Amino acid sequence: MQKPKGTYDVYGDLGKQIQYIEKVIGAMMEKYHYEYVRTPIFESKELFHRGVGDSSDIVTKETYDFQDRAGREMTLRPEGTAGVVRSFIENKLYGRATLPVKTWYYGPMFRYERPQAGRYREFYQFGVEVFGSNDPLIDAEIISIPVNIYRFLGLKGIKVKINSLGDEESRTAYKKALKEYFKPYVNELCEDCKVRFEKNPLRMLDCKVDHEKEIMKNAPTILSYLNKESEEHFKHLQDYLKAMEIPFEVDETIVRGLDYYTHTVFEVEADIKEFGSQKVLCGGGRYNQLVETLGGPSTCGVGFAMGMERLLSALEKENITFKEESLDCYLFALSENEKEYVAYLSNLLRMNGFSVTMDYNQKSFKANFKQVERLNPKFVLIIGEEEVKDKKITIKNNHTKKEEKIKEEHLIEYLDEEIEM
């Protein structure tokens, strides 16, 4: 049996690396004062069609759709935003006194894409969504989150790119200009772009087939179509980013692959040699109409999501690893007769905050010390007949090699002191 195409298993060092990053993300979100949310992995198909948009590749070509046993049309989530917005509306979080509502999530997403380095069919995203503020200060805060996480992890090769898609009025003017510009060339474009020309000409700029063509390169760009308000929003965002000492560049080619964006859009790219084509580490932006589109009261939103797999490759390329030295105690009994006491002690130690593993197979003394060599615990606790009778435990400090007999009632205190030394 083999894993499905485009998926992967986690074990060994990869597991350690992921768990460390997850801890950093959780701690960072506490510092930013964001609340954790979780939504279902499958939702109604309609949510993604209305939410992510009917002109995006993600919805038209890449979703895992299925019917449940009662014939309902369901979809495995291809991204997190639509589900979080649905939950925000359904649970009436817009009624809270403390707006904006700042949320974060983490979990698997599914897209039926052609698998390649950095592109999977099941992948993990960490994302945030903030509701109820149109202040560009929030946009800047959102951009600072991935930047600070990458910085904290020690990643050097990153590049922040921002753009603005403006408000409805600006985008309508821009779409009109795009249509006029592309009209004479429609027949030269790919089949998808012909549809995009009708449905949403902005999507044409994101085309993977036509993007190298001269007509694409010379297309009008959005910033000259921004109205006053949109221009102001974009200017303030840049001022805040400068104040936060976050280097960025304005890149007018960034339009993003989902339909819901307004005003700010951004991506953080890996700027690492030989990283490969899937170098967008994270992306996001503002979506001031999405809550309303999905049936909620008019509420602004902004967010981003980062792919865990691309972050892991970036860390690997920069040789950054996190190895947590975590095993405090290894316990073994000299015979079957002492195993109950070992069971008792392991529980006592774990409940007092020590990490513990032990000999489960009644190995020989020599085999146990071979295991100690491999696991490298801080302490080895050896339990024989005498230890059980006197409730005095033989403890070997595996690093200093010091060996002592300690009474059970002083055990925790002793280990705490030894660890501090």
What does the binding site for ligand HAM look like in residue numbers (CB under 6 A)? Answer: 79-81, 111, 113, 118-120, 123, 125, 127, 129, 257-258, 280-285, 303-307, 309-310
Closest CB 260 distance from ligand HAM, rounded Å = 8
Q: Which of 285, 296 has the CB closer to ligand HAM? A: 285
Return the closest-CA partner of residue 330 out of 311, 315, 349. 349
Q: Across the chain, how many H-helices and E-strands are there?
A: 15, 16
Give the span between the Cα atoms of 279 and 310, in whole angstroms: 7
Take residue 78 and report the two structure tokens written for it: 């291809």
Closest CB 148 distance from ligand HAM, rounded Å = 17
Closest CB 178 distance from ligand HAM, rounded Å = 21
Q: Which of 111, 339 has the CB closer to ligand HAM? A: 111
Element holding 270 (H helix, E strand): strand 262-270
Q: Which of 284, 377 has the CB closer to ligand HAM? A: 284
Closest CB 227 distance from ligand HAM, rounded Å = 22
Would you give the DSSP letter of residue 125?
Answer: E
Q: Which of 37, 411 has the CB closer to ligand HAM? A: 37
Bridge pairing between strands 35-36 and 101-110: parallel
Residue 95: alpha-carbon gap to chain centroid: 28
Give the span between the Cα atoms of 63 and 254, in whole angstroms: 23
Closest CB 257 distance from ligand HAM, rounded Å = 6
Q: Which of 156, 176 has the CB closer to ligand HAM? A: 156
Which residue has its beta carbon closest to ligand HAM?
A: 307
Closest CB 171 distance from ligand HAM, rounded Å = 17
Q: Which of 207, 406 has the CB closer to ligand HAM? A: 207
Closest CB 322 distance from ligand HAM, rounded Å = 20
Cβ atoms of 281 and 311 closer than 8 Å: yes
Angle between helices 228-243 and 136-153 (to 10 degrees): 30
Task: State the alpha helices, DSSP H only, in 154-247.
Answer: 168-182, 191-199, 214-217, 228-243
Q: What share of the chain is helix, strand, coil (3-state, %, to 5)?
A: 45, 20, 35
Return the closest-CA partner of residue 94 out of 264, 295, 287. 295
Q: Which of 111, 396 has the CB closer to ligand HAM? A: 111
Closest CB 197 distance from ligand HAM, rounded Å = 22
Q: Which of 65, 413 has the CB closer to ligand HAM? A: 65
